[in-house]
Amino acid sequence: MDRRSFLKTSAAGTAALAAVSVLPGCNGSEKKSRKASGVELNISFQEGTAPGDDLSQKLDFMESLGVTGFEPGGRGLSDRVDEIKAALNGRNIKVSAICAGFKGFILAEDPAVKELFDTTMREIIVAAGELGSTGVIMVPAFNAQTPCKPHTLETRDYLCEELRKLGDFALEHGTTVILEPLNRKEAFYMRLVADAAAIARDSGSKGVKAMGDFWHMQEETSDYGALMSAGKEYLQHIHIASRGNRKMPGEDGELDVYTDGFRALKEIGYDKYVSFECGLAGEDRAAAVTNAVNLLRKQWTEA
């Protein structure tokens, strides 16, 4: 290509780009209408997040902040169904998701460990259904869980098949199982939101879903791209924490930007929960939690 034809091609390219920028869906007014679509930020807390001596005090605090979701741990959940139902009765707070709590793991080589997973996970799923939870969060295998099936194509097929059975069981109980990708230090097997969503899809069960955790999403190249890739069909839950040290959102200052991910959630019309899963850097839990909620609401509006 000589310089003359190169310039010609470049000019055509520039014109094409200019045309694309005014196509419907790519201009500013479309973005504005998405912003005005009224997708709400539903905030949820795990049990340790709010200050308070007991569950009732914690829920009082959550209500005062307008927090509408509660994410209990799954351990011993079937014995807590009545307690949790009674505590939520008359409040504007629902169970968002159940955080793991099962024993064993789904990719265990040892049949006894796999059996332990199947039994305890199903027990939690039944309780989750009774509590109206969106799902039960699970990780296929933490790095420390051994012996684990090798990271091969056959194992992925096995995982999808086992998840199909689990997902269908969850659907029968009015809930789902939610795959949580973690960062490579915790679970190399599944790190990306898109990968979790693809495994959910390939399971063939509508009862298998995926989630994103803004802490673990340090693995992603784009918060927006990661959450968009799962989309409304697969995205069932979100975890949030500060982005430097996994403390309360806002405690890592300028690092704690969630607008890129929030924009994706607004654009897909995400109607589930954004749930706090984090520690506390400061001394004053009530102040840090309040600041965090205000920060997320501000960024949601800006997104």
Q: Which residues bind Mg ion (CB under 5 A)?
A: 213, 239, 277
Distance CA 33, CA 270 (A): 16
As measured in angstroms, the least distance from the Cβ of 277 to Mg ion is 5
Say how many C-beta atoms besides its own lie within 10 A of residue 122's C-beta.
17
Identity of the residue, 215 or 300, whose beta carbon is nearer to Mg ion in the bound complex:
215
The residue among 109, 49, 57 whose CA lies nearest residue 73 is 49
CB of residue 182 vs Mg ion: minimum separation in angstroms?
A: 7
Nearer to Mg ion, 130 or 220 (CB): 220
Beta strands in the chain (DSSP E): 43-46, 69-71, 94-95, 98-99, 136-138, 177-179, 208-213, 235-240, 274-276
The smaller minimum CB distance to Mg ion, of residues 174 and 183, is found at 183
DSSP-assigned letter for residue 296: H
Shortest distance, CB of residue 215 to Mg ion, whole angstroms?
7
Beta bridge partner(s), residue 108: 148
Residue whose CB is less far from Mg ion, 239 or 263: 239
Q: Could you give the CA distance from residue 259 to residue 265 in angstroms, rounded to a whole number?
A: 10
Least distance in angstroms from the C-beta of 25 to Mg ion = 33
One-letter amino acid at 7 equals L
Shortest Å, Cβ 42 to Mg ion? 17
Rounded to 10°, the helix 153-172/193-203 angle is 70
Q: Which is nearer to Mg ion, 67 or 99 (CB)?
A: 99
